[in-house]
């Protein structure tokens, strides 16, 4: 019989990290045929951070994690589990264990989770199950991606969108409260071709009878119009479903925190849900689309600016490759008991 620590999940700390180097729209216009006006009017993005050789998923995730642990007042040796949501690991065998070592979180189990831009929301729901079953008490959830590695910088349809970064939160068990109020996760593989970072190979003969497929991953491809239509239609639905499970109404939501893909998507989802624009969190103008990092990176910025207050309700939603999408409704900043 597992010892049950408590059925409640609380979010006690957050942190973020971004590369030092920045590439603004003006600089991008010197690489491909585009302009600041064209990019900003269609996406809301004006700047993105780009990792240099010394900056990796591991280094960015470690810095974000250290800040989150410090805010939560949790020592690395108290962490039971590390979940890294990423689509761009430093090592295809996994990067979470590298973060565990870098943090000196010697007790923690660590693994990668891949759900693209939905990864952080999928990771939060996954972490909550470990806590609610009493398996683990303290979990470090990280979203980190270095998309610049896999961007075709000659394709102006995609290269204007992506940036690099990391964000992290600390989730802890509580015997008296539960901050994860409701969630809903979805996938539709029939739409997989809309957004890909695909492996491409060619045959290589080993001995005349046996051949292998060798190759590498090729840059990101995306059908932007289809992804936009999908997000505007499906994201409001999944948020409403998560609110239903939480037994809450849209009016009880203090902040709408979506994956930072496109400002027009954020505005359209807010309009469909009748959420005022001043409640919509957006920092994509500074960071672009950082995939699994975008939600925790924006959360950390709003918390540290004093905008998000303890106890406030956040409706979060991720959406992206797979295609995957999901929503988690949670309260920010309640203390672990």
Q: Cα-atom radius of gyration of the chain, to the nearest Å?
A: 20
For residue 182, give the H/E element and its range: strand 180-187
Q: Is 259 annotated in the active site?
A: yes
Residue 304 contacts residue 160 (beta carbons within 8 Å): no
Structure tokens belonging to residue 268: 């359209």
- CA gap 121, 292 in Å, rounded: 8
Q: Is 194 annotated in the active site?
A: no
Given 14, 117, 159, 194, the catalytic residue = 117
User: Is the preceding omega at residue 323 within 30 degrees of 0, hence cis?
Assistant: yes
Q: How far is CA 139 from CA 130, 135, 162, 169, 292, in A?
A: 9, 11, 28, 8, 17
Q: Is 117 annotated in the active site?
A: yes
- CA gap 25, 263 in Å, rounded: 16
Given 47, 97, 194, 259, the catalytic residue = 259
> Token match 């939603």: residue?
317
Given 25, 262, 283, 289, the catalytic residue = 289
Q: Strand, helix or coil at 221?
A: strand
C-alpha closest to that of 90 among 23, 13, 145:
145
For residue 65, give the H/E element and its range: helix 57-72
- CA gap 146, 191 in Å, rounded: 24
Determine the Cα angle at 241 with ends 14 and 269, to 5°: 70
- CA gap 31, 46 in Å, rounded: 15
> Token match 């600016």: residue?
305
Strands (E), 218-312: 221-222, 255-258
Query: Torsion angle of alpha carbons 242, 82, 257, 42, nearest 10°?
Result: -120
Instruction: Tell me the catalytic residues.
Output: 117, 259, 289
């Amino acid at each position: 019989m597992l010892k049950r620590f408590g059925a409640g999940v609380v979010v006690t700390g957050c942190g973020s990290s971004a590369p030092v180097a920045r590439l603004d729209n003006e600089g991008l216009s010197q690489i491909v045929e585009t302009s600041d006006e064209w990019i900003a009017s269609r996406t809301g993005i004006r700047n993105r951070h780009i990792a240099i050789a010394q900056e990796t998923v591991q280094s960015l995730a470690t810095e974000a994690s250290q800040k989150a642990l410090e805010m939560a007042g949790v020592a690395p040796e108290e962490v039971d589990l590390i979940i890294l949501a990423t689509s761009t690991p430093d090592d295809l065998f996994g990067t979470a264990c590298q973060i565990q070592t870098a943090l000196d979180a010697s007790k923690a189990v660590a693994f990668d989770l891949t759900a693209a831009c939905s990864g952080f929301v999928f990771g939060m729901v996954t972490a909550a199950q470990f806590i609610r079953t009493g398996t683990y008490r303290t979990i470090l959830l990280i979203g980190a991606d270095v998309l610049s590695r896999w961007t075709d910088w000659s394709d102006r349809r995609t290269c204007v969108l992506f940036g690099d970064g990391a964000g992290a939160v600390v989730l802890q068990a509580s015997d008296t409260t539960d901050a994860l109020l409701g969630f809903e996760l979805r996938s539709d593989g029939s739409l997989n071709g809309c957004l890909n970072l695909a492996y491409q190979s060619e045959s290589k003969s080993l001995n005349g009878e046996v051949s292998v497929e060798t190759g590498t991953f090729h840059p990101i491809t995306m059908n932007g119009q289809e992804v936009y239509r999908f997000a505007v239609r499906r994201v409001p639905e999944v948020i409403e479903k998560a609110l239903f499970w939480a037994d809450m109404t849209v009016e009880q939501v203090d902040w709408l925190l979506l994956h930072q893909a496109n400002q027009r998507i954020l505005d359209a989802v807010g309009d469909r849900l009748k959420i005022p624009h001043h409640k919509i969190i957006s920092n994509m103008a500074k960071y672009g689309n950082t995939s699994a990092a975008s939600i925790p990176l924006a959360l950390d910025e709003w918390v540290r600016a004093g905008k998000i207050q303890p106890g406030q309700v956040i409706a979060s939603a991720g959406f992206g490759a797979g295609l995957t999408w999901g929503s988690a409704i949670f309260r920010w900043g309640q203390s672990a008991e």
